[in-house]
Structure 1
Amino acid sequence: MKNILKSFLAIVTVSIAVSCSDDTEIAPFKPLIFSEDFPEPEIDYNATFDFEGWTNFAETGTKLWIERDFNNDGYIQFSPFGSSQASNIGWAITPAINISEGANAVLSFSSASNFVDNPENKLEVFIATDYDGTNVLAATWTELEAVVANNTTNNYTYIPSGEIDLSSYSGTVHIAFKVTGNGTTLDGLFQVDKVKVYSNN
């Protein structure tokens, strides 16, 4: 009986050791500061994007960002197609994001495109520290260096943005996704999903 018990304890000890060894291979946890995956249950397909706290703003033209989903995965989309307008510039701006001093924050998201033939039909990403939640064009927007979908990607292929360094920012910020196009020659669509700001400490 004692030998059986010893064998059992040996097996349990080995199992625990293996489990602990496996755990050390998991990437370190990075605390989320802000996250928006546009969950499918909250998506109203083809409706004007109106998630709480977000700003959906047409700088020129009348086109706005809309809500979409595919295979139970929600996202937001901007397309000037069919507007017949000379300029369509649409902004989707996050709610206020509060970054603690020393958080070493990072932004990441995914984007996709289709029917984009011209590099002037584009998606850009900006950050502001002085946006009041209402007056988009009165804020000071700084462009962020991010990998985004463009005229060379298309086919609805999602492109990861990479880790965008926000370590120089603290306090309240807003992130903006801005598409430039028109209803004639620059009428491709852009999609944005899986927006996250997290600490890289």
Structure 2
Amino acid sequence: MKNIYKLCLTLVASTMFWSCSEEAEIAPFKALIFSEGFSSDSPFFNFNGNFNFPGWTNYAETGTRLWTEREFNDDGYIQFSTFGSGQASNIGWAITPAIDLGNAENVVFSFSSATNFVDNPANKLEVLISTDFDGTNVLGATWTALDATVANETTNGYVYIPSGEIDLSSYSGIIHIAFRVTGNGTTLDGLFQVDKVKVYENN
């Protein structure tokens, strides 16, 4: 039998939050550490507005476009689109709250992503991890790319692509995970969607 857990918002420290999410079914051998499904039922959900869930960082490295909150068939997700921006470069980050791995073992990370209107590999989604992000200075932190399967120019049509289980067993303590999209308002103006973010023990 599967266990049902209710995930709640908890203030861990001044810059550390656990996420609010919908109820999650968790197999007994996979202890959930962090989960975010961007539920449209969340009190923080702002349909078609800029993404602003507590603890998350929504940052425009270049240009002014930010990640937005979207919903389809009662399923919430976040989206980054540069269509119509009119800007030569748009790089947008969506960064998780601080995730405390504690004494967890065999930790893995997974999510789903989708694209549409992407026809150039330079219009891309990258996934990165940091152990020194302070919650504010995005570009001052050290970010390492994670080897994840992501939606790209070959998977258009809003088809969600599972990332696979990304091994985080070499990490400990506090981490942040970032989703970074690179595009512009002319030739790299596709959209990217992210959903079902989870960090858990794969025991």
The answer to whether the aligner puts 1:167 opposite 2:169 as a matched pair is yes
Q: What are the superposed Cα offsets for residues 131-175 of structure 1, whole Å, 9 maximum, x if unpaired?
A: 000000000000000000000001000000000000000100000
Residue 185 (structure 1) aligns with: 187
Counterpart position of 1:130: 132
Residues 108 and 169, structure 2, Cα contact 8 Å, conserved in 1: yes
Distance across 2 between alignment mates of 1:117 and 1:200: 35
Match for residue 29 of structure 2?
A: 29
The answer to whether 1:71 aligns with 2:73 is yes
Secondary structure in 2 aligned to 1:137?
A: coil
Q: Any unmatched runs of 5+ in structure 1?
A: 1-18, 20-26
Deviations 1:25-46 (A, max 9, x none): xx65300000000011122211
- Which residue number corresponds to residue 118 of structure 1? 120
Write 1 or 2 for the structure with the bigger share of strand: 2
Q: CA deviation at 1:104?
A: 1.5
Aligned to 2:146: 144
Secondary structure in 1 matching 2:152: coil
C-alpha RMSD of the superposition: 1.4
Conservation of the 8 A alpha-carbon contact between 2:85 and 2:184: yes
- Which range moved further: 93-102 or 144-153? 93-102
Match of 1:196, SS state, is strand
Provide runs of 4+ in structure 1 moved above 6 Å: none
Task: After TM superposition, give the deviation of residue 101 of structure 1 in Å.
Answer: 3.4
Report how many residues are paired. 177
Point out where structure 2 has 5 or more consecutive residues left out of the alignment. Answer: 2-26
Contact 2:29 2:202 in 1 (8 A): no
Shift of 1:57: 0.1
Q: What is the TM-score with the length of structure 2 in the denominator?
A: 0.85
- Higher helix share goes to which structure? 1
Q: Among the aligned pairs, what percent are the same residue?
A: 74
2:97 to 92, 95, 98: 95
Q: Which amino acid aligns with 2:49?
A: A
Deviations 1:36-60 (A, max 9, x none): 0001112221100000000000000
The equivalent of 1:9 in structure 2 is none
